[in-house]
Amino acid sequence: MNVLVVDDEPRVAGLLCEMVREMGHQCVSTGSAESATGAASLGEFSLAIVDINLGHGIDGISLARILKRDHHIPTVLVSGYRTPGMDNLIEENAIGFLPKPFTSSDLRTLLIDIYARMARGAS
């Protein structure tokens, strides 16, 4: 898979990309929703991993909606918190959710599950 990682913390984005590459996938990281939509326009991504809190500008849930609608890229949302009110928004706009903190094993398990669902045609 070719994965787009979006996180406003460069260290976190770098670690996520490193984990994704260790699993044998390609990865590109960006630090904002705006740069992510630009990258999505130029690249062929099979999945995006997006932090919900991107600091300023467009939030991760809105970005997931844009990536799905305009670029047909399914998104995994990542966050250190998840409130009950977020559940419906996550379900409507993302293919998965990864709570922080997470391990490489957590990410691997989620990506294997998502890849299997995508192969079956469910997104």
For the chain, where are the E strands, in sequence order? 2-6, 26-30, 47-51, 75-79, 96-99
What pLDDT sits at residue 85? 82
What pLDDT sits at residue 19? 96
What pLDDT sits at residue 26? 97
What pLDDT sits at residue 87? 87
pTM score of the predicted model: 0.93
The token pair that represents 3 in the structure block: 């994965």
Domains and CATH numbers, the chain: 6-44+55-119 (3.40.50.2300)
Asked if residue 50 lies in contact with residue 71, where contact means CB atoms within 8 angstroms, the answer is no
What pLDDT sits at residue 122? 56
* 3-state SS assignment for residue 59: coil
What pLDDT sits at residue 104? 93
Compute mean pLDDT per 10 residues along the chain, 123 residues long, and list them.
95 95 96 96 94 92 96 95 84 92 94 88 60
Sequence-distant (6+) residues with CB within 8 A of 9 are 51
